[in-house]
Chain A
């Protein structure tokens, strides 16, 4: 085993244990770091009868102190980074961070004087959900991946059709 491999294996075990704990009851705090609110609309639809987030044991909470998961949208404005850090610090551990939408993943805005361009620059992101905006189904899959109830399948996708050239 490589140096530090044992620690890494222990960290991986701990991560799985945490995800098992969150599997049936997870409280979500949403954080808008400068998004256009399209992601917020889709997140809001998760509570509608068709998607019914509560059936899976997921709940929205208005307080970061009650939250297990931070659902972050937007390109992380520099003016908001301190507030985002405080929100993250206010959450009790163990905690998860999910970056939502193309802005949060660094797709739309370049780093500039106003924004970091990606949530990953400021917060330790556990799961990335692409989409502009991600549909409620995509958000649902992302949340289930975050708590380990579904396996992520995007690493196996090639985005090609019709075989090799």
Chain B
């Protein structure tokens, strides 16, 4: 019997069980950032908007506008403001309407509008 067949039997199934079960590699995938509203001041938001190369982050008065659809998961926002931005580890981001990918996050010390 060919050796590859024996080897395959011994190693078992390699196919992911997603979507029935979570995939173990999902947490290692590059993904969009998540923000800490406590650390998001106006200055921090402006810095994030400046370093974002794909215009996924912008500031609209007292809110940070994050477009998850435009995010390229480059990590420059995390490098620029590590206290305000972490890695969300989200990958299930498919949306049936484009506006649902745009998130508005209230900045610290700004009254809600």
Contact = CB atoms under 8 A, between A and B. Distances in A.
Contacts, number: 154
A35 interface: no
A interface: dominant SS: loop
A157 B95 CA distance: 11
B51 to A, nearest CB: 15
CB-CB nearest 3 A-B residue pairs: A107-B70, A132-B72, A142-B94
A2 interface: no
21 contacts: A49-B15, A102-B54, A107-B54, A120-B98, A128-B69, A130-B69, A130-B70, A130-B101, A131-B93, A132-B54, A132-B71, A135-B91, A137-B16, A137-B91, A138-B91, A140-B19, A154-B90, A159-B66, A159-B105, A160-B37, A163-B37
Nearest to A118: B98
Given A49-B15, A162-B37, 15 more contacts: A105-B70, A106-B98, A107-B54, A107-B56, A129-B94, A131-B31, A131-B73, A132-B71, A134-B93, A140-B19, A154-B100, A158-B103, A158-B105, A160-B105, A165-B106
A61 interface: no
Given A129-B93, A159-B88, A165 B19 contact: no
Interface stretch (A3-11, A22-30, A82-90, A144-152): A144-152
B80 interface: no
B61 interface: no
A141 B19 contact: yes
B96 to A, nearest CB: 5
B18 A154 contact: no
B69 A165 contact: no
Contacts of A154: 68, 90, 92-95, 100-101
B interface: dominant SS: loop
Contacts of B33: 159
B68 A152 contact: no
A113 B34 CA distance: 34
Contacts of B67: 107
A141 B92 CA distance: 6
Contacts of B18: 137, 140-141
A130 B15 contact: no
